[in-house]
Structure 1
């Protein structure tokens, strides 16, 4: 799913496009070098700031690719399918520059940044609460320290915290999509104007269009990323144990992000289209819910229509994950001795 960066209680950076559990990587190092791990521990506030800032910076750097992804995803809603089929990344990028200017690549990025910190806050807090709750389940206490039990707690806790954070901050995600999908005609003039206009035109629940597709994709996205990342990392370490931990994390994380994006991209596309239902006063196209929307797209655009925009999504996985990871680790070091760390 689209980038949703948060931080776990152990400092995991979780990205929906390249959703990777660095937490297990840190636990791996903890077993090998406990003194280094202890030195790298920081408080909740700097950890939260590091995760939020890293996510915002990464999204800003990859915003042009993210906007191209959204523009391709929503093509076909109000366009002739024959013309849509001839589109290309470079042609669309040139169109943006010529018609809207270079700065238009960052349309909707401000709301993405505004979304990042509250999402991270909710994700961080919810993860800790869910983790404590899961550990208190009768039967799990006797398996404390067991690898399988830990995986269960982190996996379920991460999924539930992702669902909670996505639900709590969803209106900002919807506004981001509508701002990014605008081309030359401007209907929404900013975050507050978009929120007010949507409530006026579509009612309060208009802010939650496409939420079902979002929540439906959270679990599979985490499951696929987690499984692929852990499998690749274990195989890599068994065959090349002396390779750099950073290189292993970036490579395995990027591949897990690509696998996750490929599997869940149709849900993300449907989510975007449902978010744009009724936008700018246009008539609704998909009136039969989530599964009806899937059927409508397949009938009118074919199976390939569910993967419109997958290429720019792939292109942003590797740099996006690398920027998040490097920025997060750098900020952790800078903030480790700051006034918030105690």
Structure 2
């Protein structure tokens, strides 16, 4: 974005995209993409593994042997399993998420020259705790985000397959994954916005904007931008999550199918 954390201005998606192209070129849309990939690989694998593991544990605790036995118990297991999976994966991969945000936010002045340089610079200038700036908002957001995402996906997919068992697994996973992404993003977007603002407050040597942490940042956004400010940028978020989350779940199901065929 071409505005800093203190002076976010109203602009449409097309205006913002045009500004980026004029000032930084078309390649700027992929700025920080390497660190995004470096973050997404462990993030996706850990989140799916953690969700399946937590789900199995809670099935044992609640005495539910298979899905479909008890709808309420199934939904509870999915929500709790997704929440714990979100906390686990966010705790393990957060520094890469912070670096990704910092690298993508650089415009004319290149302060961080890459993933390792950003990690070293942040550690040196802000201390090790600087690598976890905004993590509170992330934990509050990613827990319910994955809880909603996994529970919506599992529930809708199970319902769909029970009523239309002959439909393509790939298309069902893609559609259910996209729906789960919209649902989870809608609920947790304000906390994700707060996380990004906190991550950028001292990026590139800038002065602090939010001095009172998570709730101070949230209060500042509401006071200066109103309640609508908490959903600034939600439309591009939808454009991103609908295909990306759908593809992630589709790939996951396809890989599970391929690996089970090998076994």
**Bin for the TM-score computed over the shorter chain:** 0.7 to 0.9
Give the CA deviation at 1:319.
Answer: 2.1
Indicate the SS of the match to 2:109.
coil
- The answer to whether the aligner puts 1:144 opposite 2:65 as a matched pair is yes
The verdict on how the C-alpha distance between 1:120 and 1:291 changes in structure 2, with shifts beyond 3 A counting, is same
CA shift at 1:230, angstroms?
Answer: 5.8
- 1:123 paired with 2:47, answer yes
- The answer to whether the aligner puts 1:321 opposite 2:242 as a matched pair is no
In structure 2, what is the equivalent of residue 162 of structure 1? 86
Which structure has more relative contact order (CA 8 Å, sep 6+)? It is 1
- Structure richer in helix, relative to its length: 2
Match of 2:180 among 250, 256, 269: 256
Q: Is 1:299 aligned to 2:223, yes or no?
A: yes
Q: 1:126 to 1:257 in 2, by over 3 A?
A: closer
Distance 1:128 1:229 in 2: 13
- In structure 1, what is the equivalent of residue 195 of structure 2? 271
Provide the rounded CA distance (Å) in 2 between the counterparts of 1:168 and 1:117: 12
Q: Aligned partners of 1:242, 1:334: CA distance in 2, in Å?
A: 18
SS at the partner of 2:112? coil
- Structure 2: which 5+ runs fail to align? none
Task: For 1:17-166, list aligned pairs within 5 A.
Answer: 71=1, 75=3, 77-79=5-7, 84-85=9-10, 87-127=11-51, 129-131=53-55, 133-137=57-61, 140-141=62-63, 143-145=64-66, 146-148=69-71, 149-166=73-90
Q: Does 1:183 align with 2:107?
A: yes
CA RMSD of aligned residues (A): 3.0
Unpaired segments of 5 or more residues in structure 1?
1-70
Is the Cα contact below 8 Å between 1:111 and 1:176 reproduced in 2? Answer: yes
CA distance in 2, matches of 1:191, 1:105: 17
Shift of 1:245: 4.6
Q: Distance in 2 between matches of 1:255 and 1:186?
A: 37
- How many angstroms apart in 2 are the aligned matches of 1:202 and 1:334? 45
CA-CA distance at 1:260 after TM superposition = 1.9
Q: Alpha carbons of 1:218 and 1:298: their partners in 2 closer, same or farther (altered >3 Å)? A: same
Change beyond 3 A, Cα 1:265–1:324 = same
Asked if 1 retains the 8 angstrom alpha-carbon contact of 2:86 and 2:144, the reply is: no
TM superposition shift of 1:306: 1.2
Secondary structure at 1:169 match in 2? helix
Following the alignment from structure 2 to structure 1, what is the Cα–Cα distance between the partners of residues 257 and 166? 24
SS in 1 for 2:224: helix
Q: Relative to 1, partners in 2 of residues 1:106 and 1:335: Cα closer, same or farther, differing over 3 Å? A: farther
Distance 1:184 1:257, change over 3 A: same
Change in CA separation of 1:210 and 1:190 when aligned onto 2, cut-off 3 Å: same
Structure 2 distance, partners of 1:330, 1:304, is 39
Seen in structure 2, the aligned counterparts of structure 1 residues 124 and 220 have a Cα distance that, compared at 3 Å, is: closer
Partner residue, 1:280: 204
Which residue of structure 2 lines up, in the alignment, with residue 67 of structure 1? none
Residue correspondence of structure 1 range 228-247 to structure 2 within 5 A = 228-229=152-153, 244-247=168-171
Change in CA separation of 1:329 and 1:123 when aligned onto 2, cut-off 3 Å: closer
Find the aligned partners of 2:59 and 2:100 in 1 and give their Cα distance.
36
- Asked whether the 8 Å contact 1:76–1:301 carries over to 2, the reply is no
Residues 240-292 of structure 1 show CA distances to partners (whole Å, capped at 9, x for unaligned) of 77654544443343233222212211110000011112111111111112111
